Structure 1
Amino acid sequence: MPEPTKRSSLFFKTLLPLVALAVGVMAYQYQISNPPLIEKKPLEAHYPTVEVVIAEPKDTEVEVYSQGTVRPRSETVLKPEVSGRVVWISPQLVNGGLFAEGEKLLEIDDTDYRTALASSKTAHVRAEVEFDHANRELKRIESLHRRNLASETQLDQARRSFRLAEATLNESRIQQQQAQTNLERTVIKAPFAGRVRKESVDFGQYLTQGENIATLYATDFYEVHLPIGIEQFVYLDIPPGTQGVLPPDSTLPVTIAGNIGTREFYWSGELQRTEGEIDAATRLVYGVVTVENKVLPNHPPLLVGMFVKAAIQGKVFPDVVTLPRNALRDNNQVLVVDENNRLHFRQVIVLRVQGDEVLIQSGLKPGEAVCISPLTVAVEGMRVNISPAKGV
């Protein structure tokens, strides 16, 4: 290879990389010596935004909630008072049948009882005749005795005969009344308006006195037995020391709610008595609510056995603040936001927690803003932004 060509190749291989490195170093030095200008912006403080509600103390009526099953207030077992063969049964004397007060439900063969009544009437006529004869005879003997024409023995005998005839007359009268009553008892009538729970009699069956015919219950009033915690009675306006039946002016209104199909219906009742003892197993006291079974248009009646919920009207407490339940923090505290938008823990006295609400009896002033937002960290005096709560 010629000598000039070799020198040119050596130049490019050795000196050119050094030149490129030198240019790079110079460019780096220039960049370091002349950095770009960065615009500085002031830092903005970011505070958490919380929802608040305004404390508005007012008189608040509380309710005590419970649930139970509808029962009949009056229930009885229908039994015959005389014996005999069944000759007629009402079409309503079946399970679930409805009947009116005094409606005939069953009839027993009355042949023997008519015969007994006729016989008692005959015996009563005979006794009346004997009594009239004895009465006249006594008066005759007494007249003769006053004229010394009859002895003392004869007078005693006449008086004895009169008393026996009088006793026989009274006995015959009682027997006639009993025979009449037994005849009337062959027709068995409903003691009240109601429904048949269970029947156990057939046509032609021979019934003995006192045998079970059917179980009936009245439909004019129903009862609901409600379990109530003993601590809940502080919210009910029941006079101290009251046990059993409440005085007429102390009964408490109760709203009964039950579902029929997919719809919920309401009925009005009264808490009229308590059972007066604590159930040893559940530690509950049972209150008894009476509900009148009124017939209303487009409103179904209560049904025995229906499961219902109940709201018992309680006392009215003054100056109570109602807050969403999530406003209450641990240890019965709430977070109050002051006029400078800073948080402060506040101890409060809770009247009760019911559903999604908490009732504060004391500890808050009118117009104070209470935080209801959940906070991961809450520090005394922490700055926040506030927003009115929605839907509260």
Structure 2
Amino acid sequence: MKCEALRDRILVDQQLQQESHKPGHLPSDDPAASVDPRTMNYHSDEKPQPMLDRQAPSRADTNEAPDRQPSRSAGRKVMSAVRWFFRLALPLIVIVAAASIMNMLVATKPEVQRRQAREQAYAVQLVKASPATIQPDILVYGTVSAARRVDLRALVGGEVIWVSPELVEGGTIAKGADLVRVDPFEFEGAVEEANANLAEARARLAETRASSASEQASLQFLLEQERIARSDLERAETLIKSGSLTRQALESRKLTFSQREQAVKAAQNNLLVQKARIDQQQANIERLNWKLEQARRNLTNTTLTAPFTGVVLSKSVALGRSVSGSDTLVSLYDPQELEVRFTISDAQYGRLTSGNNQLVGRQITANWKLGDSIRSHKAVIERITAEISAGDGGIEVYARFAKGTDLRAGTFVELVVPDRNYSDAIRIPQAALYLGHTVYVHEDGRMQPRTVDVLAYLGDDVLIDGSALGDEAEIIATRIAEAGPGLKVVLPEAPAQDSDESNNPPAQPADQTERTQ
């Protein structure tokens, strides 16, 4: 029952809303008609009848009260005008009221008594001007390197058959110690072959010399035969003139002499050939001797030895590896021949070499920092690079360490290089120097500028010429951004106060001065 009543109520509400939106619809004066069906008691036994059959008022019923429509329209216009008035006037009223309240508050504010301005004072530290002769130290940094280093390569190719157990990185190798051995089989065979070739060449030389000696003996015999034939021919020519010998016998003797002469010339030519062969064999023996020496040297080079006592920097060899002549097997450096390379600026180089001072031969100190401890080592500047590096903008210097140092190659060290002597110099913090040539001194609690000459820059400090300041000057060492002549300063141990203590508080503390800086 309740569900049906609720459904009927919803239908009645929808119908009433539709009728209220129809043009010309007027509310009914019938009290019964004006009853809201929603207020009906749905708990009664009677069901409310749906108003679906309710007829909308006809046009004739609408024309019965024509005077009601103009009055209702006028009332709506008045209400609309009132709403617009409040929308526009209310913000203006609020703004005017707020401005009036603000003016009243400003006019009635209490006057605060202003404190009198006081002079700012800065806490500073002073440096007593005491000109003296100073020899500062130049601090530079460098890297230790080996002055004597070698990369050992395989002198012959082959398979590695042995590696020294002492050949480890960082280990020390004695001079002449065997490091690596290559299979010597082929090189031993080359030595044997060279010996055989040399023996064969020597045998040939002996044979050629024997042939030459035989030719020499034959030549002597032929010369004797030629001499006899010549004598016989001369005697025959004498006899032919006396008529004791016939012409045929003379011709026979000439023929014999000619044959003997040809035999001598042939023997002489053969002897020359034999001598040439001997020279050829001697040259071949010399070549084979060199071949034998080369084979023996290659056989010796199958064992790689250390050229000096050194520390193994690196190795790249293992048992069974096949190596060639271009392979680097071991890198060594001499721990007794160490040097340090560092760079100095052009200004430092000019100071170190000014006057009669010489940079080469100057002794320096190298500090090796090992945690909390420092090991110092002496070194002597040995040479200066021949070319100034455009990238670094400085001059590279090399210093040699004494033998017996415990430094290692690649160590980063701090170097202390003694500078030249400066007379009448004062050392002050670089923060105390303004504009590169001005310092401030303390006079009667005020800052007063002094122009000075800078002698040298030493890191965070600077050397100035103290001849223009005197011994009694007190240089202000604290950096003040507002520094200027007459600026009031105060020492930390004696805070300054103005004469009028009631109006001026004490001067600014030191910590506030640091924040100002």
TM-score, normalised on structure 2?
Answer: 0.54
Q: CA deviation at 1:255?
A: 1.4
Other structure's SS at 1:163 match: helix
Matches within 5 A, 1:219-298: 219-237=335-353, 250-295=360-405
Pair 1:158–1:371, CA change in 2 (3 A)? same
Describe the superposition over 1:172-194 as per-residue Cα deviations: whole angstroms up to 9, x where unpaired. Answer: 21111111111110110112222
Which of 115, 124, 130 aligns to 1:55? It is 130
Q: CA deviation at 1:313?
A: 3.2
Pair 1:364–1:183, CA change in 2 (3 A)? same
Matches within 5 A, 1:136-151: 136-138=210-212, 141-142=215-216, 145=219, 148=223, 149=264, 151=267
Q: CA deviation at 1:64?
A: 2.9
**If each structure's helix is expressed as a fraction of its own residues, which one has the higher value?**
2
Other structure's SS at 2:135 match: strand
Q: CA deviation at 1:286?
A: 2.4
Greater Cα offset, 304-313 or 318-327 = 318-327
Describe the superposition over 1:309-366 as per-residue Cα deviations: whole angstroms up to 9, x where unpaired. Answer: 112233x33524232326944242345689x999864322111121454323463477
Which of 195, 219, 232 aligns to 1:121? It is 195
Preserved CA contact (<8 Å) 1:55 1:370: no
Root-mean-square deviation over aligned CA pairs: 3.7
Partner of 1:322: 426
Preserved CA contact (<8 Å) 1:134 1:162: yes
Other structure's SS at 1:256 match: strand
Q: CA deviation at 1:212?
A: 2.4
Q: CA deviation at 1:52?
A: 5.2
Pair 1:137–1:336, CA change in 2 (3 A)? farther
Partner of 1:189: 305
The one-letter code of the counterpart of 2:196 is T
Pair 1:268–1:127, CA change in 2 (3 A)? same
Partner of 2:160: 86
When the two structures are aligned, how many residues end up with a matched partner?
A: 324
The whole-number CA distance in structure 2 between the counterparts of 1:214 and 1:341 is: 72
Partner of 1:347: 451
Other structure's SS at 1:192 match: coil
Preserved CA contact (<8 Å) 2:127 2:428: no
The whole-number CA distance in structure 1 between the counterparts of 2:479 and 2:186 is: 89
Other structure's SS at 2:421 match: strand
**If each structure's strand is expressed as a fraction of its own residues, which one has the higher value?**
1
The one-letter code of the counterpart of 2:128 is V
Pair 1:128–1:53, CA change in 2 (3 A)? same
Matched, 1:97 2:202: no
The one-letter code of the counterpart of 1:85 is E
Q: CA deviation at 1:375?
A: 9.0
Pair 1:63–1:140, CA change in 2 (3 A)? farther
The whole-number CA distance in structure 1 between the counterparts of 2:456 and 2:381 is: 22
Pair 1:86–1:56, CA change in 2 (3 A)? same
State, as a whole percentage, how many aligned pairs show the same letter: 22
Q: CA deviation at 1:141?
A: 3.8
Q: CA deviation at 1:383?
A: 12
Matches within 5 A, 1:306-321: 306-314=411-419, 316-321=420-425
Pair 1:367–1:141, CA change in 2 (3 A)? farther
Pair 1:191–1:105, CA change in 2 (3 A)? same
Partner of 1:161: 277
Q: CA deviation at 1:223?
A: 3.1
Pair 1:375–1:270, CA change in 2 (3 A)? closer
Matches within 5 A, 1:173-184: 173-184=289-300
Partner of 1:359: 463
The whole-number CA distance in structure 2 between the counterparts of 1:239 and 1:171 is: 63
Partner of 2:103: none
Other structure's SS at 1:363 match: helix
Describe the superposition over 1:131-171 as per-residue Cα deviations: whole angstroms up to 9, x where unpaired. Answer: 34434544554565466356232122111111111011101
Which of 166, 172, 186 aligns to 2:288? It is 172
Preserved CA contact (<8 Å) 1:110 1:183: yes
Q: CA deviation at 1:108?
A: 1.4
The one-letter code of the counterpart of 2:399 is V
Q: CA deviation at 1:89?
A: 0.7
In structure 1, stretches of 5+ residues that fail to align are 1-47, 241-246, 296-300, 388-392
Describe the superposition over 1:229-252 as per-residue Cα deviations: whole angstroms up to 9, x where unpaired. Answer: 222211223899xxxxxx9x9333
The whole-number CA distance in structure 2 between the counterparts of 1:132 and 1:186 is: 35
Preserved CA contact (<8 Å) 2:429 2:477: no
The whole-number CA distance in structure 1 between the counterparts of 2:313 and 2:327 is: 17
TM-score, normalised on structure 1?
Answer: 0.70
The one-letter code of the counterpart of 2:367 is A
Partner of 1:19: none
Other structure's SS at 2:156 match: coil
Describe the superposition over 1:91-135 as per-residue Cα deviations: whole angstroms up to 9, x where unpaired. Answer: 222222221222211111222222222232232233233334434
Preserved CA contact (<8 Å) 1:254 1:269: yes
Larger Cα-atom Rg:
2
Preserved CA contact (<8 Å) 2:314 2:332: yes
The whole-number CA distance in structure 1 between the counterparts of 2:205 and 2:379 is: 61
Greater Cα offset, 186-195 or 321-330 = 321-330
The one-letter code of the counterpart of 1:346 is R
Which of 66, 81, 84 aligns to 2:140? It is 66
